[in-house]
Amino acid sequence: RGPTFVACGIVTFVLAGVLGLASLPSVAGSMTWKEFSFLQSRVGWLTLLLAALHIIFSKWEDLVTPHFKCYLPSNEQFVVVLPVVTLVLKIPLLLPCVDTALTRIRQGYERHPLRPNTL
């Protein structure tokens, strides 16, 4: 687990730097919308996943052993909750039935009403 958490940390740091640079207005203005969208969506999710794996691999013993004092989780357990919940909530959005509907909405699709509004 030692080299794995170091590698996840280094790659996460580099990807977070790339995301930070791509967010600057001067850099974002020189990129196409497709490049910017790819960086902010796909690389952003990869960065979040690798950051969560970095914490999980580095503090594995503290995550699986119960250290509850006053029924509160340890710092290591608390830090992992938000990235893991975010990644778990992303999974339904990747299902084909939801993804195609979201892609159509992003491309400008508007649903026509079933009945015309007549007064």
Q: Over the stretch 62-77, which tens digit does the pLDDT of each residue have?
A: 666 766 667 677 777 7
Dump pLDDT digits (tens) for 78-104: 788 888 899 899 999 889 999 899 888
Contact 92, 98 (CB under 8 A): yes
Residue partners of 100: CB distance under 8 A and separation at least 6: none
Average pLDDT value over all residues in the chain: 85
Asked whether residue 21 carries a pLDDT value surpassing 90, the answer given is yes
Asked if residue 107 has pLDDT above 90, the reply is no
pLDDT at 7 over 90: yes
pTM of the model: 0.74
Q: What confidence score (pLDDT) does residue 68 get? A: 63
For the chain, the domains span 2-106
Contact by Cβ (8 Å): 77, 62:
yes
Closest CA to 86 of 113, 47, 40: 47
- Separation CA 84–CA 63 (nearest Å): 13
Amino acid 41: pLDDT: 86
